[in-house]
A and B are shown apart, each in its own frame.
Chain A
Amino acid sequence: MATRTPSSPTTPSGQPRAAYVLGGNRIPFARAGGRYAQASNQDMLTAALDGLVARYGLQGETIGEVAAGAVLKHSRDFNLTREAVLGSALAPTTPAYDVQQACATGLETVVSLSHKIRLGQLESAVAGGVDTTSDAPIAVSDRLRRVLLDVSHAKTPQQRLTALARLRPKDLAPATPRTSEPRTGLSMGEHQALTTAQWGITREAQDEVALRSHQRLAAAYDAGFFDDLVTPYRGLTRDANLRADTSLEKLATLRPTFGLGLDTPATMTAGNSTPLTDGASTVLLGSADWAAAHDLTPLAAVVDAQAGAVDFVHGVDGLLMAPVFAVPRLLARHGLRLADLDYVEIHEAFASTLLTTLAAWESEDFGRERLGLDGAFGTVDPARLNVHGSSLAAGHPFAATGGRIVATIAKELHTRRAAQVAAGDDSPVRALVSICAAGGLGLTALLEAA
C-alpha cells in the first residue's frame, strides 16, 4: 500500500481541520413485526452500508474506521459493526467498533468519528446505527443462568445433579429485554407522560406535531429528496410508518396509551408517540482532502457537540429533558442564539418531547432559574423545525435515528447554501441536532453547511 503524507490536521488559524458529512444511506424503516421481522441487526446494517458503498463507489475501499451500534443487541453481536463491514463491499482491512448510548448512539458515532478526522487520526469514516425490536435478544432467567454455569463447572455427576435440583419451574421463563428504566420501573412513555403533565402540553398540540411530521416526510419522498439518501430493502421503498394521508381528525380518534394513571388527562397516543421500529442508517464522513480525492462533495461540517444528563430519578427534570440543558451550553460556546440557527432537528421521541423542550426554552422562569440566563432561552420557528419530517412519521429504530437526521439535514444544509450563494449571500447556514435518550441522557450537535 502506498504511503500518503497525511494533511496537517490544523488550519492556518490553529483550529483543527474540518470533518465533513459527505453523504449517507439508510434503509426504509419498518414497523416491528413487519417487513424486517426476519432480518437481524447485522443484515440491516450491512444492507445500509452496501447501499452507501454503491452510491459513492467505495467498493474495495479501506475506510479509516466504521463505528455503529445497536441498543437491543444479541450477546453474539459483540463485534456487530466489524461483522457488518466484513459482509459488505468495503475492504476487509477496514477497522470497526461498536458504540452504545441508547437513542443517541447514531449521533454519538458521527460526533466521535468527526473528532478523529479533525485530529488527523482518520481521513474517512462511516458512522451508523441499527436496531430491531422484532429480532429482540432473549436471555434465560438469572437463576437458570447460574444453575447452568454451575453445571458446566461441576466435576462429578453428583455435583451436576445438586445444581440442577435447585431449579424451579418458574426459572425456565425467558427474560425479554426490559423497556422500562431500571431505577424507576417506569417505561419511557410513562416518564414522558409525567413531563407532559408538568408542562401542560395539550392533546391538540401533540397531534399537530405528528401531522406535520407525516406531511413533511411524505412531501420529501414525493419530491425525490430521499432518492440519494435511502436504498430500499426487503421490498420496502418508503418508511412503513409513514401515513401521507393522516389528518387531525384521524389522530384525534386514537385512545391515549400513556399517563392513564395520572390526575391530569392522558394525551399521549400511538399516533403522537413513535412506534417500535426496525431499521439501519449510515453516514459517510471525511476530510476535505479525502473528499476531493474521491470526487465527493462535502455537504456539512460537524462543528461541535454537547452531551447532557438529567437526574430523572430523584430530581425534578423529565427523563427526556437533557437536551434542554445541553443546547444552551453548545450555542453559548459559539455566541449563537436559537434564532441564529437556520434549521433545528429535534428527535420526536414523542410529540410532547418536542413540545416540552420548546416550552422550557420559551419559559422566562426556566431560563432564569435553571439555565442561568436573563430570560427565556429563545423560540424556534416551526418553519425551521424538522423540515422534512422526523421520527413520528419515519419511525425510530433507536440507534439508527442519529444517522437518519444527520444525513437528511446535511443534504438540506448543502442545498440551501448553494441556493444562497447563487443569490449572492455568503452567510453561514447552520443546523442544530438534538436527541434525547434513555437514562436521562441527551446529545446535541451543531452542523454548518460546507
Chain B
Amino acid sequence: MTDRYLELVNSGLTQKLAKQLGLPRPAVLRRYRPGRPLLDGPALVLGSGPDADTVAALLSSPAGGAAPTGDAPAFFDGWDVEVHRHATPDVRYAAVVLVLTGVEHPDDLAGPVLAAAGALKRLRPGARVVTVSRPALGTDAPAVAAARQGVDGFLRSLAKELRGGSTGNGVVVAEGVPVTAPSVVAALRFFLSTRSAFVDGQLLEVDSDAGELPEDWERPLVGKVAVVTGAARGIGAAIADVLARDGATVVAVDVPAAGEQLAQVANRVRGTALQLDVTAPDAGERVLEHAKARHGRLDVVVHNAGITRDKLLANMGDDRWASVLAVNTASQLRINEALLTSGDFVDAPRIVSLASTSGIAGNRGQTNYAASKGGVIGMVRATAPLLVPFGGTANAVAPGFIETEMTARIPAVTRQVARRLNSLQQGGQPVDVAEAIAFLASPAAGGIVGRTLRVCGQNLVGR
C-alpha cells in the first residue's frame, strides 16, 4: 500500500504547491541498507562526566582496534563517527546524543539541553536525537527523580518538534548497569541507525548488563535459528526477510492455506517452510521438533501471527471475541510454555511478540484486539524473567499505523487521517516493524527484559 499523499507533496509541481499552501509535508524516510555508514555526518555528544566521555569514545573510536592511550576511554571496535563535544556553528549534525545519566537536579538539564538547542535548526534530514538517562524510581531522592523523569517529558516533546524525518528516542539505563553494557550500546546504535526510521518519541529501558555484542553489526544474527509465525505475507514476511538479512536461518510458519506464499518466502530467505496452525495444541512441540530436526537448534521465536475481528463491543459476537484471543494471545502462551518446559530452549533464547498501539491506547471497535495485544504486553513482562537464567529474554514490539493489507482495508478518508496522526505524519512500512523485532531478537538485547517498544512514528495516542 503506497502513501500517495506523501509521494505527491515530495515531488514535482505538487511539492511546490504543498509548500506554498503550507500543507503538512511528511518527509520521505531513509531506511537501512547494508554497507552504508552508521551516520551520514558528524555527531554532537553533549553532557559532562564519565558516561558522556565513554559514549563519545564509543562513537569516535576507529573500527577494528586501536589500543587505548593514556586515561582516555577508548574502544577496540568503535563506530568511526566524527564526534563534536560542543556545538560548532555552521556544522550540520546527523545526530545529537545527550548523555544525562548524571543529572541530579532539574537545574542540571539546562546545560546540555540548551547546547543542543543551537544545533537543532541545522540538523540533517533524517537526523537522530538520542538521550541516555536513568529511570526515576520511588527510591531516588526527589530532586534526582525530578531530573530523571524530566528527561522523559523533554524527549517526547522534542521529538514532536523535529522535522525532515528526524527522530528522537531515549535509552533509560537501570541503576547499576554501565553505559558500556551490551544492550545499552546496541540500543544506542539502533536508535542512531536508519533501522529505527519509524521509531520516534520512545524511551527504551535497559534492565541488566546481559547480552553479547555482535562481531559484525550488519549480521548480528549469524548462527541463530529463528521461527517466525504468520510469515507468509505482510509484517511476517518482512520479519523473515530482515532476520535472514541479519544472518539468521529462518523457519517460516503459517497456516497450510497460505502455503503457496509461505514457500515463496522460505525460498527467498533460504530457510524452511512449516505449514502449521499456531492454535493447534501441539504447535509448540511441532515448531521445536522441526527447528531441531532441520536446523539443529532453536534460538529465536517471533510470535507474529495475529488476526483482527473488529466490532463495537455492544455488537460483538462470542466467536469474534474468542477467536482473536485464541490466535493472538492464547496460542503464544501455549507455545511459550511448550518451549520453556522442553529443556531445548536454553541457550540465550529470545522471544519477541507483536503487540500493538491498540493494546496500549485502545481503539474504537477493537476491544477484542486490544485485549489480546495488551495480553501480549503483559505476557512478555512476565515471561522474560523465566528466560533470564538462560541468558534469554522476551520483549514485544507495538506497531502503530503500518501500511499492510490489514490497514489497506480501512476506509480511504479514515486511513489518510490515521496516517497523519503521528510526528512523522505517515504510516510505517512492514520493514520498520521487522527491524525492531530483529533488534530485540539479537544477542545484544539480552539486557532488555520484558519491555515493549513502539514502532509508531510517535503516534499521538498513548505513550
Contacts and interface: CB of A to CB of B under 8 A. Distances in A.
B296 interface: yes
B95 interface: no
A54 B257 contact: no
A344 B31 CA distance: 58
Interface stretch (A197-205, A226-234, A369-377): A226-234
Contacts of B273: 51, 54-55, 231
Interface residues of B, number: 23
A233 B270 contact: no
A56 B273 CA distance: 8
Interface size class on chain A is: 20 to 34
A179 to B, nearest CB: 31
A224 to B, nearest CB: 8
Contacts of B263: 50-51, 53-55, 231
A82 to B, nearest CB: 19
A57 B296 CA distance: 13
B294 A227 contact: no
A59 interface: yes
A89 B267 contact: yes
A60 B269 CA distance: 11
B271 A57 contact: yes
A54 B262 contact: yes
B295 interface: yes
Contacts of A60: 270
A269 B33 CA distance: 62
Nearest to A56: B272
A295 interface: yes
Contacts of A53: 263, 267
A297 B271 contact: no
B295 A227 contact: no
A57 B293 CA distance: 12
Given A50-B263, A50-B264, A231-B263, A55 B256 contact: no
Contacts of B272: 54-57
A295 B290 CA distance: 10
A66 to B, nearest CB: 16
A54 B276 contact: no
A47 interface: yes
A62 interface: no
Given A51-B259, A54-B273, A231-B259, A295 B296 contact: yes
A233 B257 CA distance: 9
A311 to B, nearest CB: 45
Contacts of A57: 266, 270-272, 294-295
A295 B295 contact: yes
B266 A297 contact: no
A237 interface: yes
B260 interface: yes
Interface of A: 47, 50-51, 53-57, 59-60, 89, 224, 226-228, 230-234, 237, 295-297
Interface of B: 252, 256-260, 262-264, 266-267, 270-276, 280, 293-296
8 contacts: A51-B260, A51-B273, A59-B270, A231-B259, A232-B256, A232-B260, A295-B296, A296-B294
